[in-house]
Structure formats: C-alpha cells, structure tokens
Amino acid sequence: MALKDVIGQESAVKILESAILNHKVASAYLFQGYSGIGKYFTALNFAKALNCTRRPARKGFRAGEENGAGADACDDCPSCGRIEAGIHPDVAIIRPEKGVIKIEEIRKLEETLSLCSYEGGYKAAIVDDAHLMNDKAANAFLKCLEEPPAGSVIVLVSSNPERLPVTIRSRCLALAFKPLSAGLMESLLKDRIKDPEKRHALIGLSMGRPGLVIEKGGKGGDILKKRQEFVKSLLQMLAGSRGNPSWSDKEEIEEFMDGLELCLRDMLVLRTTGKEELLLNPALPEKVKSLGKAASEEVIIDCYRGIAGIKNSLVYNPNKSILWNYTAGLLGRLANPGDPYGEGKSRN
C-alpha cells in the first residue's frame, strides 16, 4: 500500500505529497478526525513515502532522472517492506496499552528520533490514539516537540484531539480527515463484500468510516451488531428513556458519541439541503431524519457542541447514568427547542 491507496482524504494527502516534493516536511503533524477513516493508514504510508529508496518518477519525468522522483512510496523496496511490517529501525510506532500511553513509550520514541538514521532517510514516529498519553508522557513528549531532532518527523493520530494539551496541539501542523461519502464507501467495499444488501447495511451503519468495516477481517465483523445497538440506544434516548445505559466502558461511550456527532452532521445536511443522497448514513432512522428536517440549524449545532463537550469530559470518568440523562436532555431539544431540559414540558 502507498499514499495513492488512501481514499477520500485528497486534501490531506496533497499537503503531505507537496511537503515531500518541496522538501518542506514539518517536524510534527496531527492527523485528526473520526476513528476508522484512514488516519493511521495515511501516517504509515507517509513514513513509507519519506523513506522509500525507489520512489516512482512523477509525471513528465523518466525513472532515475534528477529531481524526478515522485512523492509516493514504491511499496516494493526493503525500506517500504520494513515499515509495513513495523520493523524499520528509523520508524517508531507508539500505541496505547490498556488505554494509556505511558512515559516509557515516549522514551522509546525519543531514542528513535535522537539517534542517527540507520538507513539515511527520515526518522519518523507515529503516535496512534495520541490523546491517550497520560500527563507524564505528555510532558515528556512536549520536550520532543520543542526541540525536534534534525531529519525527524512525528505524526500524532487522534480521534479526540481536544483531549491533547494545547501546548502539544499548537506545535503540530493539523490535518483534518473526513468521513467518506456513501459513494466512496460503495466503491471501496464492493469487491470485499459481495452481498449488496449486507454491503448497503454496513455502509449505512459505518457512517463514512471504512475502518470500522475493513479492520475486522474485511467482512464487516461485528459492526452490524454494534451499530444496531447504537441505533437502538439512540432511539431510546430520543424517546426520552432515562438512565439505563448499556455502555460497558469508556471506549463504548466514545464510540456512541462519535456516532451521535455523525448523525447530527447528517441532520444538519438534511435541514440545510433536504438531500438524502448527501447523507453519510443513508440508513439513518426515519425518526432521526424527521427530527433533522424539523429542528432548527441553531439547535442542531448546539447539540453538536454539547456532544463535543461530553467527549472532552470523558477524561474524568463521569457516571454513566448521569451522562445518559444529560445526553438525552440535549437531544430532547431537537424535538422541543424551547425546552432547556429536553423534557418536553415546562419546569414552572
């Protein structure tokens, strides 16, 4: 795989390729956006492109011509192979363990970046789910960002960038990754999932996030079940059901809130354009569609902001029942915009 295989993220890829071609690679990037939309995949292929020893020629140049190398990896040379396999000595890949990135991991990253490059290319570090760094790790990491070793590049990957300290975010070049349109999802999945009915259902339920479908063995894995649970919880909330969440951990709450944000995005699209073909989730429940058409833009945007606030608050491990009721209250405003408590009746 290479940067050319990244689908639906043209603007981010264009910025990265232009940085490579113009030798203006930033010392730190922040790839931000929902989970499952290709941020990590892009980071890995960016590291491959930076270190590839046989980058194919760009348009108008012959192979081997001076300054003729393109910006993408060949996906064939030993360097590309080692990065793909996660064993390249100049590329550190940091991931959370049991939901947290500790200072020991950041020390490993420092070591990789501070040593001379083994293979003469870039030294790169990819920090997946970077918002899961604990305070000690974040402080140590900040020092790396303040004095980046020459010829090194760090890519932070995060679906919750607001949870990273501002001091870290402000030192990174942020690139936004977006959910994919239903049309792109269809072209991406049509060879993997032959049954059109199942494919259509998965496209609807994954809401523009191909990683949710592809990562689990390429057949949709348990996403159907998960997304059906999401829709069930959402409808319960919209019906005013209080305080009995089925969320088992913080990760599930986060997933629910991500799904909710995407639903609100689709509601806003319906409200402003009325065009169902522009929805990320063509299988949006009728109840959600009708709320989207009826609620004011202001209320939908307010709800969206509220959900973003909830996601930030998850760092404090809030009580699940209180969180459920609070979220249900926010959504209640979609049906009853004049009711600050979302209970469908006045409090006085």
Residues making contact with Zn ion (CB under 5 A): 52, 73-74, 77, 80
CB of 52 or CB of 92, closer to Zn ion: 52
Closest CB 73 distance from Zn ion, rounded Å: 5
Counting every residue, how long is the chain?
Answer: 348
* Number of DSSP helices (H) and strands (E) in the chain, helices first: 14, 5
Closest CB 52 distance from Zn ion, rounded Å: 3
CB of 85 or CB of 239, closer to Zn ion: 85
Closest CB 76 distance from Zn ion, rounded Å: 6
Report the C-alpha gap between 42 and 90 in whole angstroms: 18
Closest CB 99 distance from Zn ion, rounded Å: 34
Q: What's phi and psi for 102, nearest 5 deg?
A: -100, 170
Q: Name all contacts of 285-294 with Cβ < 8 Å and 24+ positions apart.
A: 285/231, 285/234, 285/235, 287/235, 287/238, 288/234, 288/238, 288/263, 291/238, 291/267, 291/334, 291/335, 292/266, 292/267, 292/268, 294/335
CB of 77 or CB of 268, closer to Zn ion: 77
Q: Confirm if 301 and 271 have CB atoms less than 8 A apart.
A: no
Closest CB 8 distance from Zn ion, rounded Å: 24
Closest CB 56 distance from Zn ion, rounded Å: 9
Closest CB 79 distance from Zn ion, rounded Å: 5
Closest CB 77 distance from Zn ion, rounded Å: 3
CB of 6 or CB of 132, closer to Zn ion: 6
CB of 49 or CB of 267, closer to Zn ion: 49
> Taking the C-alpha atoms of 255, 185, 44 and 97 in order, what is their torsion angle to the nearest 10 degrees?
20
Report the C-alpha gap between 228 and 259 in whole angstroms: 11
Q: Kindly tell me the burial class for residue 99, based on how many C-beta atoms sit within 10 Å of its own C-beta (0-12, 13-18, 19 or more).
A: exposed
CB of 80 or CB of 310, closer to Zn ion: 80
Task: Please report, as a single letter, which amino acid is at residue 263.
Answer: C
> What DSSP letter does each residue of 127-164 carry, written as one string?
ETTGGGB-HHHHHHHHHHHHSPPTTEEEEEEES-GGGS
Report the C-alpha gap between 163 and 169 in whole angstroms: 10
The number of beta carbons lying within 10 Å of the beta carbon of residue 288 is 21
CB of 3 or CB of 144, closer to Zn ion: 3
CB of 73 or CB of 125, closer to Zn ion: 73
